[in-house]
Chain A
Amino acid sequence: AQKITQTQPGMFVQEKEAVTLDCTYDTSDPSYGLFWYKQPSSGEMIFLIYQGSYDQQNATEGRYSLNFQKARKSANLVISASQLGDSAMYFCAMRSYNYGQNFVFGPGTRLSVLP
């Protein structure tokens, strides 16, 4: 069975500091992708970053990077130089490519950036 675990329901970070949001996953499919999404309080969903299971390097997109540790089945999101606008819910998700291509989402982590 596929599962995403996000163990931090809520986190606080000081503005301009870096923060790591944890995500662990479980799958038996060797071919999968890992996604992070941001949902501000306004409700829209924003795609942040993607990591494929066969990618050799960790994905980066601006201030976002994904710390992919395949053996540990973890895909943590690192946000550098936090900004007040980073306050939001963050969801980790996985897509299996060999078993129906279903997406599975974690419960989310609420990040609050303090001034």
Chain B
Amino acid sequence: DSGVTQTPKHLITATGQRVTLRCSPRSGDLSVYWYQQSLDQGLQFLIQYYNGEERAKGNILERFSAQQFPDLHSELNLSSLELGDSALYFCASSVGSGLEYNEQFFGPGTRLTVL
């Protein structure tokens, strides 16, 4: 058990809908990362937050947004869902965000299916 929790484990929804994925980092970790893994596009980095502030942005679509709350949990919001958004969404956490804080702990992922 990595100590990172993600809810829900599975999510099935329809095109055009909006969903929210939740992540709680390990106790003491200030950074949260979001990744998408799909058959078409492989693994992609979406976004990183550090202590409530956006720290790095990857291939995150404009229909997607994220935030990190004062208690350090993070939410990834996906809207106007398309079939291609079906994927496994991972959250990871690390102690910090600099070069020296490289070990990431991953949650079990949320499997999103868009029908």
Contact = CB atoms under 8 A, between A and B. Distances in A.
Interface of A: 31, 33, 35, 43-47, 50, 52, 91, 93, 97, 100-105, 107-108
Contacts of A107: 42
Interface stretch (B13-21, B52-60, B62-70, B77-85): B52-60
Contacts, number: 53
A31 B105 CA distance: 23
Chain B interface category by residue count: 20 to 34
Given A100-B56, A100-B57, A101-B55, A47 B103 contact: yes
Interface of B: 2, 33, 35, 42-45, 48, 55-59, 88, 90, 92, 99, 102-106, 108-109
Interface SS of chain B: helix, strand, loop or mixed?
strand
A105 B56 contact: no
Interface-centre pick from B45, B55, B57, B108 (highest chain A CB count, 10 A): B45
Contact of B45 (A43, A47, A105): A105
Contacts of B42: 105, 107-108
B109 A44 contact: yes
A69 B45 CA distance: 25
A47 B56 contact: no
Nearest to B57: A100
Nearest to B56: A101
A102 B90 contact: no
A101 B108 contact: no
Nearest to A91: B43
Contacts of B58: 100, 102-103
Nearest to A46: B106
A96 to B, nearest CB: 10
A44 B108 contact: yes
A105 B56 CA distance: 16
B96 to A, nearest CB: 13
A52 B99 contact: yes
Contacts of A35: 102
A8 to B, nearest CB: 15
A36 B9 CA distance: 25
B61 to A, nearest CB: 15
A86 B30 CA distance: 30
